[in-house]
């Protein structure tokens, strides 16, 4: 079973890229982020034609998350992260597919920091940790997939000082990610590639893709009952080189 996470950065604009990748990579489940599409504008006909069922929660202009399943219909569980009824941003969706639960997470960026946007990021992390703890307690097979907007360690960003003030690498951001993983989650990519950077994001600015000046922001965390089934993982970095590409590349795992 192949599970992927992909920040598509506007699903309608990059639909040809997405469909081409689906044909080539054949993931069984895909968590998408940053749809930048309303619910009504989600390209469900094209997704279905490609052989995938889908559940999604859109939002005009930005955000938006979806879960696709190959030759199956994901069973929708929830379309928002519990803990704040006033939070209207489309950043979380959860579904059951082939016996496991998969999320699509689009964690807040948090810039500029310090400030209310960074506070929102940390509070969102707190809510995610609280929700994730229930999965651990109940011993449920779960993949917490998504764009966490955190490069967890210095190893997850190219050598530079230019991001020092960015919310993606702040000590509090990294501590929040570390605290989540410490519940018992396995960072799948890092588990299989402990000594390779495995970047998933290259900013459009400053020639960062040709220089491989990347960050690892997209993660797949496995619950304890699922972690022993991990057999492969990777990043389809070549997708970042395609014409009209997202600034993220798909990260994926294979479970036995």
List the CATH number of the domain containing 10.
3.60.10.10
For residue 68, what pLDDT is reported? Answer: 98
For residue 148, what pLDDT is reported? Answer: 98
Please tell me the distance from the alpha carbon of residue 65 to that of residue 51, in angstroms, as a whole number.
19
- Tallying the residues shown for the chain, one arrives at 256
Examine residue 31 and say whether the peptide bond preceding it is cis (omega within 30 degrees of 0). Answer: no
Task: Grade residue 107 by pLDDT with cuts at 50, 70 and 90.
Answer: very high
**In the predicted model, what is the mean pLDDT of residues 33-44?**
98
For residue 231, what pLDDT is reported? Answer: 98
Give the model confidence (pLDDT) of 91-105 as tens digits.
Answer: 999 999 999 999 999
**In the predicted model, what is the mean pLDDT of residues 3-16?**
98
Alpha helix ranges (H) inside 35-115: 44-49
Phi, psi of 118 (to 5 degrees): -70, -40
Give the model confidence (pLDDT) of 217-233 as tens digits.
Answer: 999 999 999 999 999 99
For residue 11, what pLDDT is reported? Answer: 98
* Strands in the chain per DSSP E: 2-7, 29-33, 52-57, 65-70, 75-78, 92-97, 100-106, 142-147, 186-187, 218-222, 230-235, 251-255
**In the predicted model, what is the mean pLDDT of residues 76-88?**
97
**In the predicted model, what is the mean pLDDT of residues 201-221?**
97
For residue 252, what pLDDT is reported? Answer: 99
For residue 212, what pLDDT is reported? Answer: 97
Task: Work out the mean pLDDT of the chain and round it to a whole number.
Answer: 98
For residue 235, what pLDDT is reported? Answer: 98
Give the model confidence (pLDDT) of 161-192 as tens digits.
Answer: 999 999 999 999 999 999 999 999 999 999 99
Tell me the two tokens of residue 58.
């859109």
Task: Grade residue 114 by pLDDT with cuts at 50, 70 and 90.
Answer: very high
Task: Grade residue 243 by pLDDT with cuts at 50, 70 and 90.
Answer: very high
For residue 75, what pLDDT is reported? Answer: 98
Query: What is the residue range of 229's domain?
Result: 2-255
Number of domains in the chain: 1
Give the model confidence (pLDDT) of 47-77 as tens digits.
Answer: 999 999 999 999 999 999 999 999 999 999 9
The answer to whether the pTM exceeds 0.75 is: yes
Alpha helix ranges (H) inside the chain: 15-25, 44-49, 116-138, 171-181, 188-192
| % of the chain residues with pLDDT over 90 | 100
């Amino acid at each position: 079973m192949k599970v992927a996470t992909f920040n598509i950065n506007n699903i309608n604009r990059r639909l040809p890229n997405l469909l081409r990748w689906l044909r080539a990579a054949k993931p069984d489940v895909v968590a998408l982020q940053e749809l930048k599409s309303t619910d009504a504008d989600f390209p469900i006909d094209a997704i279905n034609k490609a052989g995938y069922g889908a559940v999604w929660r859109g939002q005009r202009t930005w955000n938006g998350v979806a879960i696709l399943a190959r030759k199956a219909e994901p069973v929708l569980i929830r379309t928002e992260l519990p803990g704040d009824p006033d939070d209207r941003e489309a950043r979380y969706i959860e579904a059951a597919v082939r016996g496991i639960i998969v999320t699509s997470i689009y964690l807040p960026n948090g810039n500029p920091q310090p400030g209310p946007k960074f506070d929102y990021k940390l509070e969102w992390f707190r809510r995610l940790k609280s929700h994730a703890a229930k999965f651990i307690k109940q011993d449920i097979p779960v993949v917490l997939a998504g764009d966490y907007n955190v490069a967890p360690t210095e190893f997850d960003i190219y050598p530079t000082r230019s991001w020092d003030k960015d919310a993606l690498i702040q000590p509090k951001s990294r501590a929040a990610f570390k605290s989540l993983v410490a519940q018992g989650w396995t960072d799948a990519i890092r588990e299989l590639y402990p000594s390779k950077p495995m970047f998933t994001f290259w900013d459009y600015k400053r020639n960062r893709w040709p220089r491989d000046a990347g960050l690892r922001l997209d993660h797949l965390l496995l619950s304890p009952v699922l972690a022993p089934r991990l057999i492969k993982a990777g990043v389809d970095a070549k997708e970042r080189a395609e014409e009209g590409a997202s600034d993220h590349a798909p990260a994926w795992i294979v479970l036995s």
